[in-house]
Structure 1
Amino acid sequence: MLVPFDIIPSASPVFVLATSVGLLGGSIILIVFFFFTVTALKAHREQSILPKGLPFLGKKNEFLASIRANARGASDSFRLFTEAYEKYSTKGLVSVVPTWTKGPQVLVPTALINWLAHEPEHVMNARDCTFEDMQFAYTTAHPEIMNNDMLDLMIKRELTRHVGNLNDKIVNEVSLAMGEMFGTGDLSESGQGEWREVGIWDSSMRLVVKAANSVFVGSDLCRNEEYTQACMSWVWDVATSSAVMHMFPKFLKPHVSKLVTYKNRRDARVSIKHTLPLVEERIANMTRAQNDKSFEYEAPNDLITWMVKESFKRTSESETSAYSLAYRILLLNFAAVITSTIASANFILDIMSTDPSENVVELLREEAERVYREHDGVWSKAAVAKLVRLDSALRESGRYSCVGGSAITRRVWTDDGVVLPIDGKEGEGSGLWVPKGATVGVAQHQIHFDEKYYGPTVAKFDPFRFSRPKEQGISTTNEDMVTTSTHYLTFSHGVHACPGRFFAANELKLIMVNILLNYEIQSMPTRPPNEALGDVKIPSRKRTMMIRKRARVMDV
């Protein structure tokens, strides 16, 4: 028999509330327990493949040793790397340091740096380390677009070949962007501009995005605010979502990524909304010009044209479709923007916190004005090459404020593993066997702060460390910004040294020389510390600077 609703006794509000709280609390406990369990299993699995008996920094004989070691790798990474370097790496010994994003790192002695840097990809794989570190399988889309050589070819062949030839484009966009952010003609009665407070990170990223995209997509789209914002957001989204994805085991990542990378996908759609029509139009015009000799068309000298030309030589849809080329523009934005933004922000913080009595800014500005006059106000490739003080200061900033963590990171790729050569020489002694899947590297920050390489002033930011010997005529050693070595690892070293470093160095110099000649930044009493994110350190996104237009300007 049916019972009327109005005669069913209703539960009291207290009972309903208590039941709801209990169910919610129980669910939270189950979720936390599940997450903790899978995280512990992930940590144990990553550490279990390593050779037994190696010194493992941060790992103790305690309950849940693996996950607690990983936690120390997230919170105390720099101390662990320093301890490993001083106790083991400098003494020819191998050790292990836990990290949050890269898993446990097998740190090899400094004597093995050259060996590690020049091992072939099928033995020690660099690409897999980069993809795993940034979790590209989840933070970006379309693995068929990621996993081919077109992007690498565009960087190594086209961007490097055109370094210096497109400086006028970069200068125009950077100058416009600076005017919008820092002021143009708003000079006071004293002839100076009004002071403005701007974010160092955000303004650095905006300038880098403008500089890069002036070469990637041209001035019209480069000045589109929605496109600029989408590129900036996407770059940061990929970087931050990759750190979150590292918290989960592999079997959960495809499901978790749908939520974690929501903003990535949204910003990618906005970016491609703008680039896809450009690419489609370029393909149509270049195809017509190729087939119809009466059609006069001169394609712009930019990334889109370079990619379309290359796509004509290929056949697969992932290498020829307009969408795949548009998506590559987005991918190249990440490669070009994130590291140069860090370098730009670090440089400003390093330079503006030097002792005013050292006249660092004045010496850099004097060089910039002199070179500018010598080259009739044109920042040609030859002119930029004469900025030896600025080059030295950028290189020193890369040393002093490097992101840290491990460098020359490689994944053991051969089924049989590898045997580490003693003293970097093949066949001398048995060495240590490292299994397939292990990650091997060296301690970057600690090498950059080793007196053995940089002398007693290693702990000081010396902007003219590398230019002083050249200007004094006592050294001809090639130590410019893009030169890598076993003790300068900002761009890595060896066969996988950053191929985009030539383009990055050129655009950073054009950005900084514009600031030096046209703007004034208030000095900082001390160098604000960078923020640690696991095993890396980057400038705080909240840090600001006071900047204004100079009275005497030399527009670059």
Structure 2
Amino acid sequence: MKKLYNLPEKVLDIFKTANNTIQADWTIWDPDVSENLFQTNLIRNQLTKNLDILTPSIALELEKGFEREWGTSKTEWKRIDIWISALNIIAGAANSAFCGEPLCRDPEFLSRLQIHSVFVFLGSLLISSTPKPIRFITGYLIGWSCYFLLNRVIKICLPFVEERLHHNAMLKADPAYSWVPPKDGLQWMIEECYAMGDPSQLNPRRIIHRLVFMNDISMHSTAYTTQNVILDLASADPSLGYIEALREESARVLREAGGKWTRQAVAKLHLIDSTIRESMRMTPFNSVGLPRTVVDPHGISVQQGNSTLQVPRGTVVAIPVEAIHYDNSIYPDAMSFQPFRFSQPGAARNIVDAFDSTPGGDGEKPKPRSSATVDEAFLGFGFGKHSCPGRFFALNEVKILVANMVLHYDIEPLKTRPKMTPIIWLNVPLFNNGTVRVRRRELVELL
């Protein structure tokens, strides 16, 4: 697997394959937004590199999001839709890093972002499932819907972006100009536009489109992970004390950090890290994932045991994610949710060793790793040199979210865990029966 997924792009393509998956020609419109690695590099470099700066504001928006979505009553239970509340909480927190205030607290802006993201995701599925002879009809209808929804987002945040561009232009013209550039994704995006030396990149509509695209590719996957962590914890046997253990760890780490979440403090949430990884293992977004297209005219040769398989050009290769995640020879009692499976020293190494001992394993012995680290036995964030570039940012965000959740709320146990809805190779989030009752709890004994 490692050799296959580290082949160069001229041999095994990911970018056009990914754009075809989301039907970017119809749903994104601007090829410079969908094909340029601008956003990917911004997420991989600036957002990850500046997590020290971004973490406090992300934590604050997560706390406000919980109060808004889950309530503040310490006496009454409130039934919440896990998917909707997770999406709303994540949207505000992520955009505190992407564009900052006031947009990250503007409910109309966040709502329009979410609607656009849903249309891109569901629309691409609909286009892909339409027979090719009439696909242009579906593509046309979905495409214009996405364009209309994009313009609704642009309308609400255009004045904000134009003002930011004005301040940047003034500062470029006069270094003594009285304005301090904020540290957020939008600012780094504008600075990168200047560095490219292409005036068209400074078009405010294109900048907003890039901002929307960053939300499209990150918001739902993060909310999906959040929903599954909540469902897994709520449906686990209460006598096992999983939530209590997470609560104790969160309280201790937060106390040691002086009551404020920092990147360094978040890195100490080892039990939460393991819980997230186990939840992602149990319910991956794709049953089959990591699609790549063979583009080398001569095809590629894949070693399978003692035989060699010749894969011709144009073939899409993928990995059976669920088959690996549910393999009892790799994960003992694989169908059982064990949130602390990865928390023991050497646990990740042992799991990868088990994978390497199976037919087709690469035989290497990597070091133990966190949830953000990818390997052949855990494919929640992809694999190889094109693993999810936003995984460090997303994991940092979800770890704070889970810590806030167990510290501030009681969750009524579920008798059974609701199942996700499988559509083709995807596991689609629950919209109807994914609910749980929650209640605000006292914190006096924790801090």
- Picking from 57, 78, 95, the partner of 1:196 is 78
Q: Secondary structure in 2 aligned to 1:165?
A: helix
Q: Unaligned stretches of 5+ in structure 2?
A: 352-365
Provide the identity percentage. Answer: 30
Counterpart Cα distance in 2 of 1:151 and 1:527: 36
Counterpart Cα distance in 2 of 1:511 and 1:118: 33
- Picking from 258, 262, 279, the partner of 1:376 is 258
Which residue of the partner structure matches residue 273 of structure 2?
391
Which residue of the partner structure matches residue 438 of structure 2?
547
Is the 8 Å Cα contact of residues 351 and 360 (structure 1) preserved in structure 2? yes
Q: How does 1:497-536 map to 2 (within 5 A)?
A: 497-536=387-426
Alpha-carbon distance, 1:436 to partner? 1.5
Which residue of the partner structure matches residue 382 of structure 2?
492
Alpha-carbon distance, 1:133 to partner? 1.3
Q: Secondary structure in 2 aligned to 1:451?
A: coil
Which residue of the partner structure matches residue 63 of structure 2?
175
Which residue of the partner structure matches residue 313 of structure 2?
436
Counterpart Cα distance in 2 of 1:221 and 1:467: 37
Q: Unaligned stretches of 5+ in structure 1?
A: 1-112, 187-191
Alpha-carbon distance, 1:404 to partner? 3.2
For 1:519, the aligned partner's letter is: Y
Is the 8 Å Cα contact of residues 201 and 541 (structure 1) preserved in structure 2? yes
Is the 8 Å Cα contact of residues 291 and 318 (structure 2) preserved in structure 1? yes
Q: Is residue 2:122 matched to residue 1:233?
A: no
TM-score normalised by length of structure 2: 0.91
Q: Is residue 2:345 matched to residue 1:454?
A: no
Counterpart Cα distance in 2 of 1:234 and 1:507: 22
Is the 8 Å Cα contact of residues 345 and 368 (structure 2) preserved in structure 1? no
Q: How does 1:78-93 map to 2 (within 5 A)?
A: none
Which range moves more in the overlay, 347-356 or 262-271?
262-271
Counterpart Cα distance in 1 of 2:210 and 2:318: 29
Which range moves more in the overlay, 376-385 or 263-272?
263-272
Alpha-carbon distance, 1:250 to partner? 4.6
CA distances 1:152-186 after superposition (whole Å, capped 9, x unpaired):
111111111112321111122111121112112x3
Counterpart Cα distance in 1 of 2:323 and 2:370: 21
- Picking from 19, 38, 61, the partner of 1:150 is 38
Is the 8 Å Cα contact of residues 518 and 555 (structure 1) preserved in structure 2? no
Counterpart Cα distance in 2 of 1:260 and 1:520: 41
Q: How does 1:132-151 map to 2 (within 5 A)?
A: 132-151=20-39
Alpha-carbon distance, 1:537 to partner? 1.3
CA distances 1:454-501 after superposition (whole Å, capped 9, x unpaired):
12x211100000113479xx9995231111111110111111111100
Is the 8 Å Cα contact of residues 138 and 253 (structure 1) preserved in structure 2? no
Is the 8 Å Cα contact of residues 422 and 428 (structure 2) preserved in structure 1? yes
Alpha-carbon distance, 1:555 to partner? 9.8
TM-score normalised by length of structure 1: 0.74
Counterpart Cα distance in 2 of 1:242 and 1:318: 28
Counterpart Cα distance in 2 of 1:253 and 1:508: 37
Counterpart Cα distance in 2 of 1:535 and 1:258: 24
Is the 8 Å Cα contact of residues 293 and 315 (structure 2) preserved in structure 1? yes
Q: Secondary structure in 2 aligned to 1:313?
A: helix
Which range moves more in the overlay, 494-503 or 288-297?
288-297
Q: Is residue 2:168 matched to residue 1:278?
A: no
Counterpart Cα distance in 2 of 1:469 and 1:268: 47
Counterpart Cα distance in 1 of 2:131 and 2:197: 36
Q: Which has the larger radius of gyration?
A: 1
Is the 8 Å Cα contact of residues 164 and 506 (structure 1) preserved in structure 2? no
Q: How does 1:4-83 map to 2 (within 5 A)?
A: none
CA distances 1:231-267 after superposition (whole Å, capped 9, x unpaired):
1111111111111101334564444323234442232
How many residues were matched structurally? 430
CA distances 1:261-283 after superposition (whole Å, capped 9, x unpaired):
44422321121123322222122
Which range moves more in the overlay, 172-181 or 505-514?
172-181
- Picking from 319, 333, 342, the partner of 2:224 is 342
